[in-house]
Amino acid sequence: MSEALEPGATIGILGGGQLGRMLSVAAGRLGYATHVYDPSATVPAAEMARHQTAASFDDIPALTRFAQSVDVVTYEFENIPTAALDVLEDLRPVRPGRRALQVSQDRLTEKAFLRDLGLNTAPFAAVDDTDSMHVALAEIGAPGILKTRRLGYDGKGQVRIMTPGDAPEALSAMQGAPAILEGFVDFSHEVSVIAARGMSGDVACFDPGENVHRDGILRTTTVPARLSPAQRTDAVLMAAKILNALDYIGVMGVELFVTAGGLVVNEIAPRVHNSGHWTQNGCAVDQFEQHIRAVTGQPLGDGGRFADVVMENLIGDDMDRLPELRAEQDVAIHLYGKAETRRGRKMGHVNRVKR
């Protein structure tokens, strides 16, 4: 196995949101300095990092200086432009690697990758124009959901198609962007596996969590999830298959639908994941530390869980509930230091720990 980075080394983090912030804190706990790169100067991660660069992802000189100042580069979001990667990869290791980004930046590529691995996904077809929309609808039928292939998150860039008559309006909502039509999956609930793979190829998974969304945004994750022992094993094996196929290094979030016919992969995220925040108060090594361990070449924690936890996101006006949350027992509050509360904006989360 390769040598782990020694304390004192610097980890570059692309993206300065709450995930970057919590990664930075975890890195500091392991003795590493961090350098956060984000187009905005006032980002949640900045005050928890030793160094900060405020520059766009197409600023080649800034990217170059950033890479030269760090020992390894990682990221908190998957939409890193390819040109930026070209610059960074020439200078320092980027972990997780490019393959994971290529696959996850494009919903069509991702679905095809998963299908080729033999994993179940929602039925899907590419939609670029009216013709391909007709073909896709004929194949998949309605209801379905039309999504942009790139850059959607938290339900953005998605339109439901309940009947074929909805198709033209849905297509025009894509504004000419390449899209994918996905058939509905009849699932009872959604779970996610927060999986990690280290530099020696070892894989460790946290206990799957059960997710509840509202308006396309994650509301709560509960561990343990409602899964049979066989489903639990399946979930972990599927995640490991994905990580191994990508020669992945780091933490990945794998969202799975639980259906009568087995587990169906919804999507993957090549980074720490909102549905893994519960690990901060249920495990000795949480997902953020696990990711830092992986990208610095350390052995992984085993993901062992010592408490039941319910994670709840604090979104927008949920911040008004702070006084009650503070007075509740066994609630760990995690705020992101965002100055402005906006509708639909993730402001923080709480972990309710069951003794």
Indicate the residue among 143 and 304 with the shorter CB distance to a second copy: 304
326 binds a second copy, rule: CB under 8 A: yes
CB of 4 to a second copy, least distance (A): 7
Helix (H) or strand (E) segment spanning residue 35: strand 33-38
CB of 314 to a second copy, least distance (A): 10
Indicate the residue among 98 and 305 with the shorter CB distance to a second copy: 305
Binding to a second copy by CB under 8 A, coded x per residue (else -) over 286-325, reads ---x---x----xx-xx-xxxx-----------x--xx--
Cross-strand bridge partners of residue 333 = 350
Judge whether 227 and 235 are in contact, CB under 8 Å: yes
Residues in 31-90 at the binding interface with a second copy, rule: CB under 8 A: 31-34, 47-50
Question: Which residues define the annotated binding site for ATP?
Answer: 107, 147, 152-158, 182-185, 190, 213, 266-267
CA 352 to chain centre: 22
73 in helix, strand or coil? strand
Rounded Cα–Cα distance for residues 141 and 46 (Å): 47
Rounded Cα–Cα distance for residues 273 and 288 (Å): 9
Q: Which range touches a second copy (CB under 8 A), out of 75-83, 160-168, 220-228, 327-335? A: 327-335
How many of the other CB atoms lie within 10 Å of CB of 90?
10
DSSP state of 49: S
How many of the other CB atoms lie within 10 Å of CB of 158?
18
Indicate the residue among 217 and 353 with the shorter CB distance to a second copy: 353
Rounded Cα–Cα distance for residues 188 and 185 (Å): 9
CB of 244 to a second copy, least distance (A): 21
CB of 3 to a second copy, least distance (A): 9
Rounded Cα–Cα distance for residues 194 and 242 (Å): 12
2 binds a second copy, rule: CB under 8 A: no
186 binds a second copy, rule: CB under 8 A: no
Cross-strand bridge partners of residue 10 = 33
Torsion 112-145-149-93 (CA) sign: negative
Indicate the residue among 167 and 283 with the shorter CB distance to a second copy: 283
Binding residues for a second copy, per CB under 8 A?
A: 4, 7-8, 21, 25, 28-34, 47-50, 281, 284-285, 289, 293, 298-299, 301-302, 304-307, 319, 322-323, 326-327, 329-337, 339, 348, 351, 353-355
